[in-house]
Chain A
Amino acid sequence: ESGLPSSPLTLRIVAECPVTKARVCDLILPHCTVNTPVFMPVGTQGTLKGITVDQLEDLGCQICLGNTYHLGMRPGPDLIEKANDLHGFMNWKRNLLTDSGGFQMVSLVELSEVTEEGVKFKSPYDGKEILLSPEKSISIQNSLGSDIMMQLDDVVSSTVTGPRVEEAMHRSVRWLDRCIAANKNPHKQNLFAIIQGGLNSKLRKACLDEMTKRDVPGFAIGGLSGGEEKDDFWRMVTLSTDHLPREKPRYLMGVGYAVDLVVCVALGCDMFDCVFPTRTARFGSALVPWGSLQVKQKQYAKDFQPIDPDCQCPTCKRHSRAYLHALFKSDTAAMHHVTIHNISYQLTLMRSVRQSIMEGRFPEFIQSFMKRMFPSRDQYPSWTVDALASVNITLQ
């Protein structure tokens, strides 16, 4: 157990897999306990795409994400403070995690310029020049009042190589210190560091060595899930978890595909987030244990079973693929039905993973999970075979 009684974060390790690096924890945060491994749905603009907070709670969600860049623009930190922070504004009574805004700054915005000061960019709403510095990011996140805040990191695409990667890694360490210093609410809000270093083991190790010297309540593994080769991806994940403290949570950013989640839990990660499940739902793509199902496709027009006959979500308990297929032509509620299903799928998957680790059968779970997901053994992606082999799982 880590953290002082007055700490806004306490991690209790409930079980550890004797075969892999997986663990089950209870992450005690200001608004409620979060059971890990956990998938965190993303509610970018203070809302989870058509789902009410009650529906989200009923699905068992204990923590979700808000986005500092978007919310910092609209409606802005001052208004949210007036509304009793982001929890009050959205009326979400459980935990919130906000990212720093760094990723959006680079991925969404043209003509952004990174200097030691921060990231300079032009606002898409009024064209004004804005500087997002570590201090500014933390200030906004303090106003948002999230339970977990992310440091502002110097974000570099995982496909970039060369000296820029090293520069960004060192700068991220310096920015971490500035973020720690700027945090007005260390007793209510947890600031997580983000390990960088790209796909370079040496740089990543250096970053791990430096950042773990800082007394932060948790660590994120960043700079991945950006289009790099999966072979490189998993090696960086496992390198990171090898050198992160056992008694602090490990958050792998931007990962949400079912296969990736299961493998990365085996590699020692506790927390995950991704827009994919909720975004793909709006296009009629339903996540299922054997992959995905495109409900809008003609083949489902006369398919009268639910998306997944074994699924207990509200959508599957009442509606058929055929009805949803037709509803996509008439009303937006079709999207909401699939969104609810997809969130349910993700959260249920994590609950099953957790249960199997606690019952000492995670290796068996992995075997049957992979079997269900892929038509045959030779279709298993080679990176999953390698990654799982590295934690003593030989896929059958």
Chain B
Amino acid sequence: MAGGRMQLELSRVVQGRSRLGVLKGLGRTGQHSLEVPGCLLYTHFGTVPHLTQDTLHTLRNLPSVTQVTLSNIAEHQEVLEEFKDGFRKFAGLHDTVVYCSLHDPATLCPTGYTTNKTVSVWGSGGRIELTVAKFMALQKTVQPDWYQSMADGETWQNSTSRKRVRKSVDRTLAHLDECLLVHQKSQELDGVEVFGVVEGGDILEERVRSARETAKRPVAGFCLDGLQTASMDQRLRTQLITAVNKELPEDKPRLLQGVGRPDEVLACVEAGVDLFESFFPFQVTERGCALCFSFDISPDPERAVLELSEEKDAAGDTKQNGDLNHDDQTQMTSFEINLKDKRYQDDFRPLVEGCGCYCCKNHQRAYLHHLLVTNELLAGVLLMIHNTSHYHGFFSALREALAKDKLDLLKTRIFNPLNFTDATKTGMKDGLCASRPHTG
């Protein structure tokens, strides 16, 4: 095995399934670590969307692992080959662990182009077909610290046949074996970790088969694919992930692809998932919205009284979790507010009271509203800063909840849209994002 030093140290396993710990030994010299459950830093070609280094570094406690995708990188293979020194250096990424995935989790690819020997990614110039040989040539050029092996995950559509699902499992295993062969022979990939990818669509037996077989290979961890938000509801997802995780070694990390909504994250952590991709804040930003759901698990007796006495009017114009159209990832969730709405025109409060991010410390909802209405680029910058900060804050709270046995309290915040943190005079129009009363 030509792997590195990645090691999962679990400190707790709650109720037999939710895991808390640290993923250590990351990076070429093994000096980085990532707390688990946690998320990777989502980027476009090494850049967090909208952000330059100054704006990015207003954020504290960023994940130590940066995700890059072949869908962004593949078309630049020639340039990277001429550059020779790997993607991290090319992108000016200092002191971070680079994880390379196949697809961009925020975009669903067109289907119908996968073959027995190839998968396709879509760059700015169109479709690029990858054989294992080309895939591995890319990895040698990118020189990530860790990558997922090539996989066929085209099973997310409702109409996927059983036969097609079986093929995706078979192909993915074949790709994994081929990737590992090349990996073991490549000096350039010495010390680089490989994750195997578990497929199987929505068919339990195929999921179990894929998990069992992948676990036999010398991989450092597992990606769970084909379970994207768009492909199935959480009940089924939980069922499948639970079954899969039973087949996987406990001491290796599990990375769930394509799932980012806070309620789904929570449910998947309970099913034994360790890592997620952080594309959700980006999607929220692109629709001009700001994350503001509460993940506060500190007990506050005053607030408990407020909650009892507030109006339980949830009929406002935000949707409830259950109403969401699962096929449309671009639709607003109840975890966010839509700043284009007229009600924010003269709302001079920060996006989230008490949020320490650059946007909330310096700007107000009214200004963000103005930037969105006038189509100004700064809207994306400020929203991305806030949404990233808020999302990572959620993961922090999730870890704290696991550490202090407060998972139930956190679940109340995340799952029950009627249970708000604070009252506003106008009632519950903001979904999970009711803001605090002004205590000035």
Contacts and interface: CB of A to CB of B under 8 A. Distances in A.
A315 interface: yes
B44 interface: yes
Interface in B114-134: 123-125
Interface in B330-351: 345-346, 348
Interface size class on chain A is 35 or more
Output the residue of A82, A90, A320, A332 with the most chain B CB within 10 A: A332
Q: Which of A82, A330, A337 has the most CB of B within 10 A?
A: A330
A346 to B, nearest CB: 18
Interface in B73-87: 75-76, 78-79, 82-83
A129 to B, nearest CB: 22
B345 A323 contact: no
Given A75-B345, A331-B47, A301 B79 contact: yes
Contacts of B29: none
A54 interface: yes
A315 B54 CA distance: 10
Contact of A326 (B45, B82, B363, B367): B45
B1 interface: no
A114 B273 CA distance: 68
Contacts of B363: 91
A18 B377 CA distance: 45
Nearest to A337: B52
A90 B50 contact: no
Nearest to A55: B54
Contacts of B371: 45, 47
A48 B54 CA distance: 15
B83 A304 contact: yes
B376 interface: yes
B124 A90 contact: no
Nearest to A78: B346
A333 B92 contact: no
A301 B364 CA distance: 40
A54 B57 CA distance: 12
B366 A51 contact: no
B72 interface: yes
Contacts of B124: 329-330
A74 B47 contact: no
Given A52-B382, A90-B367, 8 more contacts: A50-B376, A55-B52, A74-B370, A83-B364, A89-B366, A322-B79, A330-B124, A336-B50
Interface of B: 44-45, 47-55, 58, 72, 75-76, 78-79, 82-83, 90-92, 123-125, 345-346, 348, 358, 362-364, 366-367, 369-371, 373-374, 376-378, 380-382
